[in-house]
Amino acid sequence: MSGEEKNVGLFVTCLVDLFRPTVAFAAVKLMSEAGCSICVPERQTCCGQPAFNSGDRHDARKMAEMVIEEFEKFDYVVAPSGSCAAMIKKHYPELFSDQADWHKRALDLSRKTYELMSFLTDVLDVKEVETTLNRKVTYHDSCSGLRELGIKDQPRTLMNAVEGLDLVEGENAERCCGFGGTFCLKYSDISTRIADDKCDDILKTEADMVLGGDLGCLMNIAGRLTRRGETVEVRHVAEVLAGMCDDVAPISRKG
Amino acid sequence: MKLNAHNFKENAAKALKDEDLQASLAKLGTGFPLKRLAAAARLPEFEALRDQARDIKDHTLRHLDFYLEKFECKVQETGGHVHWARDIEDGRKIVYDICESVGAKTVTKGKSMIGEEMAINEYLEEKGLIPVETDLGEYIIQLRNEPPSHIIAPAIHLRKSHVEEAFRKTHTELPPERNLDEPEDLLKEARAMLRKKFIAADVGITGANFMIAETGSTVIVTNEGNGDLTQTLPRVHIVLCSIEKMVPNLEDCATLLRVLARSATGQEQSVYTTFSTGPKQMDDPDGPDQFHVVILDNGRSRMLGHDTHDMLRCIRCSACINHCPVYQSVGGHAYGSIYPGPMGSVLTPAIYGLEQSCDLPNASTMCGKCEEVCPVRIPIPQMLRSWREKQWEDGPVPILQRLAMSVWAFWAVRPKAYHFGAKIKMRLLGLLGRKNGHFKSLLFSKAWTKSRDFPAPEGKTFQQLWSEKGGRRS
Ligand code: SF4
């Protein structure tokens, strides 16, 4: 770590804010330990991806403008979600392609925005985590993080640094879980069918815990697993890395 | 084929319950993708070739008018004819007129998606001709009177028993007690039946994977060799293709061929790659007396220079289809268009209009797998999104959906009020959900809870907790 403290703005993401604050605390802990000072602007809600992917550019822009205004002052912007980080990093510049001033601001923000696992490993060069978890774990690669940001090795590097953690790869770890934002509501039956394939792939690994980096996907997978009566636990990878599994029950399960 | 895309939801629901179909799809989901992966791994320059393939198509599309005219000249030089078809009606008429001019009765047909687009079989039948599909898959679905469910494996939705049933029903001149248990038996029977048709045919129609401007040649790739018999035995060869199949020269064609089969079936090359250049020449041992190329537009030129321009790079390899989790779940017929899967969801609205196919661009998780495997690197999710934007601007979006988005957007840009409301709601949900950690059902979220538990929130929002802890705010 370089001596200077990095001023990081945490983009909490709406799902983490509402459903699983522990993930954000885990993110804060991991980054603080690596020498960052974390700020959480109150003026933040959603990155605008649901609007953007629904074709509602107007509302997407309004939300994007708010994020840009609020976060451009930081050295780095970090989100514990590949899909929200990709929205800011990849799609904000595209969203303002016809407005030169906003486009420039979007590009500037894009350059300093990271998904949490990528920020920890690629920027902060974290290689060690001080925690133990004696569990057999498998990992689900969420689509946006994987394909839009190239996040594949980063979470694995960190998981492998957890003492006792036994990582087993699913054959189709990279296959979509069927969440797809509003897709899971609009095409619920197809979404469920895809989620079932994902569940089967997870069960085949005989892992007792599945981790991932995107709460939307994790809620989808967990919701389907508990509905099917499966006992595999689902968690955000940051909870494990920060040693916070005792702070909160697995997703969709009672504490 | 008649478009049935507006019934996507019902079609999909039916498909999900169809056990035969699901068994076929399960095989497809692992078959082609694994083979593609292995083929790519065997070729170190595969990724570089994809870049080249993209650039070749981009260059050609930028100068499409030039290459189309050059192609036409070259075809004429070799003694062939080029016909321009603005739309399906035009195309059908051109084909029929050629058939009529030579007094054709039987027409053999190699696999052609443009033929499907024109529904040329139905049209020729109406006019009293006998069109016979010679690609095994196409032959089977022709007997069953159904559209293809995949662009390169048209009968992928069927099981062996379906084929046997279709053969017994149609080949009534054969002894009913014959054994058709093995796939080889079926193949042998189809081959024998088709042989007779090949000999009887007056006109042979094929598709084209590429048109080569430099030489005026058309190219098809097949694995059965039926295309060769279709185009060399009859007196007249008609090629059906569309404007974007153009490539400048043989060299470029070779580059595209190197990524085509690998992306499609994982083969290095298809078993047959056939180049057709004009009719039979003086010293040719065989070949057709007439060579016609029908070039269809049908909405494609409208895509040039617009949001879906890049889609015209498509070389119809089907990789996006084979890898799509939605296609793998519902199969091709659910899309109600001859072009299914991700490529179809971009192309169908362009050809048939967005109103007719408004579900298609939305029925995607945007997982991006299609773009990852597309040999010409078409940004399919981005194009699906551009259709969604068009719908949002002036198309049919369910009023409730619009309303929900507006309400969400209204609160999302008012953080103070949003956080206040969120605090109360999450507290309540957290308390209610504490017992199980999830909800089996929840007001207004049946689409989720029908098949999934809805995870309960922890109770307090992060924003609330951060404030309570006195965390840094600026
Ligand atoms: S869009 Fe790409 S992957 Fe899909 S069929 Fe066309 S070339 Fe192949």
Chunk chain A into consecutive blocks of 10 residues (it has 255) and report each block's average pLDDT, rounded to whole numbers.
81 96 98 97 95 94 96 98 97 96 98 98 95 97 97 97 97 96 94 97 97 97 96 97 96 87
126-185 of A, contacting B, C-beta below 8 A: 143-144, 147-148, 175-176, 178-185
The rounded distance, in Å, linking the Cα atoms of A68 and B412 is: 14
pLDDT at B65: 97
Integer Cα distance of A109 and A68 in angstroms: 7
Closest Cα partner for B59 from B251, B340, B323? B251
Q: Give me the phi and psi of B455, to 5 degrees please.
A: -60, 135
Measured at the alpha carbon of residue B35, what is the angle toward residues B34 and B39, in degrees to the nearest 5?
A: 120
Contact B452 A220 (CB under 8 A): yes
Contact across the interface for A223 and B419, Cβ inside 8 Å: no
Q: Which residues of B touch A249 (CB under 8 A)?
A: 437
How many alpha carbons lie under 13 Å from residue B321 in its C-beta half-sphere?
31
Output the pLDDT for position A3.
59
- Burial of A138 from C-beta contacts in 10 A (0-12 / 13-18 / 19+): buried
Is the minimum distance from the CB of B343 to ligand 1 under 6 angstroms? yes
Per-residue pLDDT at B394: 82
Residues on chain A touching B415 (C-beta within 8 angstroms): 42-45, 66
3-state percent helix, strand, coil for chain B, nearest multiple of 5: 55, 10, 35
Mutate to test the interface with A, among B367, B424, B435 (most CBs of A within 10 A): B367
Please give the full DSSP string across B190-259, using - where no structure is assigned.
Answer: HHHHHHHHHHH-SEEEE--SEEETTTTEEEEEESSSHHHHHHHSSSEEEEEEEGGGEESSHHHHHHHHHH
Cβ proximity of A183 and B366 under 8 Å:
yes
CATH architecture of B31-298: 3-Layer(aba) Sandwich (3.40)
Q: Are B117 and B316 in contact (CB under 8 A)?
A: no
Domain ranges, ordered by start, for chain B? 31-298, 301-397, 411-468
Judging contacts by C-beta atoms under 8 Å, the chain B residues touching residue A198 are: none
Residues B462, A187: C-beta atoms closer than 8 Å: no
Q: Name the DSSP class of A121.
A: I
Of A178, A189, A254, the CB nearest to B435: A254
Question: Closest Cα to residue B415, out of A12, A73, A35?
Answer: A12
Task: Please give the distance of CA A83 from its chain centroid, rounded to a whole number.
Answer: 7
Largest CA distance in chain A: 53
Put simply, the chain A residues between 60 and 79 with a CB less than 8 A from any chain B CB are 62-63, 66
Give the one of A54, A223, A249 whose C-beta lies nearest to B452's C-beta: A223
Q: Which of A187, A196, A239 has the most B C-beta neighbours within 10 Å, making it the best mutation to test the interface with B?
A: A187
B326–A contact, CB cutoff 8 A: yes
| CB pairs A-B closer than 8 Å | 214
> Is B201 an 8 Å CB contact of chain A?
no
Q: Does ligand 1 have an atom closer than 6 angstroms to the CB of B318?
A: yes
Which ipTM score applies to this complex?
A: 0.96
Predicted local distance difference test score (pLDDT) of residue A185: 92
Å between B436 CA and nearest CA of chain A: 5
B376 lines ligand 1 (CB under 6 A): yes
Q: Helix (H, G, I), strand (E, B), or coil: what is residue A154?
A: helix
Q: B13 at the A interface (CB within 8 A)?
A: yes
CB distance A183–B365 less than 8 Å? yes
Q: What is the pLDDT along chain B (474 residues), one digit of tens a residue?
A: 678 888 999 999 999 999 999 999 988 878 999 999 999 999 999 999 999 999 999 999 999 999 999 999 999 999 999 999 999 999 999 999 999 999 999 999 999 999 999 999 999 999 999 999 998 999 999 999 999 999 999 999 999 999 999 999 999 999 999 999 998 999 999 999 988 888 889 999 999 999 999 999 999 999 988 888 898 889 999 999 999 999 999 999 999 999 999 999 999 999 999 999 999 998 998 899 999 999 999 999 999 999 999 999 999 999 999 999 999 999 999 999 999 999 999 999 999 999 889 999 999 999 999 999 999 999 999 999 999 999 999 877 888 888 888 888 888 889 998 999 999 999 889 888 888 899 988 877 889 999 999 999 999 999 999 999 999 998
- Ligand 1 pocket, B317 CB below 6 A? yes
Span from the CA of B374 to the centroid of ligand 1 (angstroms): 5
Amino acid at A136: K
* Any B CB within 8 A of A39 CB: yes
A251: nearest CA partner in chain B: B455
Say whether residue A17 is in contact with chain B using an 8 A CB cutoff: yes
Is A190–B388 a contact, with Cβ atoms under 8 angstroms apart? no
Q: Domain B301-397 in CATH: superfamily? A: Alpha-helical ferredoxin (1.10.1060.10)
Chain B stretch 442-461, residues whose beta carbon is closer than 8 A to a beta carbon of chain A: 445, 447-448, 450-458, 460-461
- The protein residue with its alpha carbon nearest to ligand 1, atom 2, reads B374
Q: Does A102 touch chain B (CB under 8 A)?
A: no
CA atoms within 13 A on the CB side of B314: 28
Closest ligand 1 atom to residue B346 Cα is 1
Is residue B374 lining ligand 1, measured as CB closer than 6 Å?
yes
Which tens digit of pLDDT belongs to each residue from A3-62? 589 999 999 999 999 999 999 999 999 999 999 999 999 999 999 999 999 999 999 999
Largest pairwise CA distance in chain B: 92
Q: Mark which residues 387-406 of B lie under 8 Å from A by CB.
A: 387-393, 397, 401, 405-406
Domains of chain A (ranges, CATH numbers):
6-122 (3.40.50), 128-247 (3.40.50.11810)
| CATH topology match: B31-298 vs B301-397 | no
**Among chain A residues, CA nearest to B413:** A63
- Chain A partners within 8 Å of B393 (Cβ): 55
Minimal C-alpha gap between A196 and chain B (Å): 10
B434, B438, B472 ranked by CB distance to A223: nearest = B438
What pTM was computed for the model? 0.95
Q: What are the residues whose beta carbons fall under 8 Å from the beta carbon of B399, sequence distance 6 or more?
A: none
What pLDDT was estimated at residue B72? 98
Which residue of A17, A59, A189 is in closest CB contact with B405? A59
B58 CA from centroid of ligand 1 (Å): 14
Answer yes or no: do A44 and B415 touch at CB < 8 A.
Answer: yes
Does ligand 1 come within 6 angstroms of the Cβ of B315? yes
**A219–B372: do the CB atoms touch at under 8 Å?**
no
